[in-house]
Amino acid sequence: MGLYSSYYTYGLSTFVTVVVALYLLFTGSGEAFNVGQFLEETSPYAWASTGIGLCIGLSVLGAGWGIFVTGASIIGGGVRAPRIRTKNLIRCIIGIVYSARMSPVPDTLLYTRENYFTGYALFWGGLTVGACNLLCGICVGIAGSTAALADAADPDLFVKILIVEVFGSILGLFGLIVGLLMVAQASEFTAAAPAAAVSPFVH
């Protein structure tokens, strides 16, 4: 890792993508790059499961990251001011994990418009909740670590710096609201009434 690590990351992936795209184009199979086909032939269960996994995984990652950042400062500050050790650990619990309300109830495996809709809703909803919780956890962690250090310097500051943490924790709340809104319109996975697939790309 060095000055050019971002060149490797973005440049290499761009180069590979361009090579693959040009290969498809010049060998006469340019139709193979079909975003719509990919979105239609992947199972809605795949989207839904990925969304739920991302929701839990990213939320836990955010909670852990926040706890680690705050805990490091608490332990470091506790060397000089041992009184801060118990008061500040309560703040670690701000990085909570929102339980997955998004649990699909699968019936039969059929590709209807409503099932596609549900799959996409669960994927994007889970990603939103997970990413917002991750960012909330990091933000609260950093704010909490500075609160711990300020508390080590002066005990009266703790409550005032807590206001910053409260503003940070509303981020996770907003993410949860948006995630719930997205999933509220999506019905459960149901079988189509006439047994027909709505997409030509499904076997």
Kindly write down the DSSP assignment for every residue of the chain, as one continuous string: --TTHHIIIIIHHHHHHHHHHHHHHHTT-GGG--HHHHHHHS-HHHHHHHHHHHHHHHHHHHHHHHHHHHHHHHHHHHTT-TTHHHHHHGGGGGSPPPP-------------HHHHHHHHHHHHHHHHHHHHHHHHHHHHHHHHHHHHHHHHH-TTHHHHHHHHHHHHHHHHHHHHHHHHHHHHTPPPP---SSS--S-TT--
| Shortest Å distance, C-beta 15 to other proteins | 25
Footprint of other proteins on residues 50-89 (CB under 8 A)?
none
Q: Indicate whether 40 belongs to the interface with other proteins (CB under 8 A).
A: yes
Q: Which is nearer to other proteins, 6 or 187 (CB)?
A: 187
Closest Cα partner for 118 from 103, 100, 133?
A: 103
Q: Which is nearer to other proteins, 26 or 156 (CB)?
A: 156
Q: Indicate whether 128 belongs to the interface with other proteins (CB under 8 A).
A: yes
Q: Indicate whether 12 belongs to the interface with other proteins (CB under 8 A).
A: no
Q: Indicate whether 125 belongs to the interface with other proteins (CB under 8 A).
A: yes
Footprint of other proteins on residues 145-184 (CB under 8 A)?
146-147, 149-150, 153-154, 156-157, 160-161, 163-165, 167-168, 170-171, 174-175, 177-178, 181-182
Residue type for position 141: G
Using the rule CB under 8 A, which residue among 24, 39, 89, 96 binds other proteins? 39
Interface residues toward other proteins, by CB under 8 A: 36, 39-40, 111, 113-114, 116-117, 120-121, 123-125, 127-128, 131-132, 135-136, 138-139, 142-143, 146-147, 149-150, 153-154, 156-157, 160-161, 163-165, 167-168, 170-171, 174-175, 177-178, 181-182, 185-187, 198-199
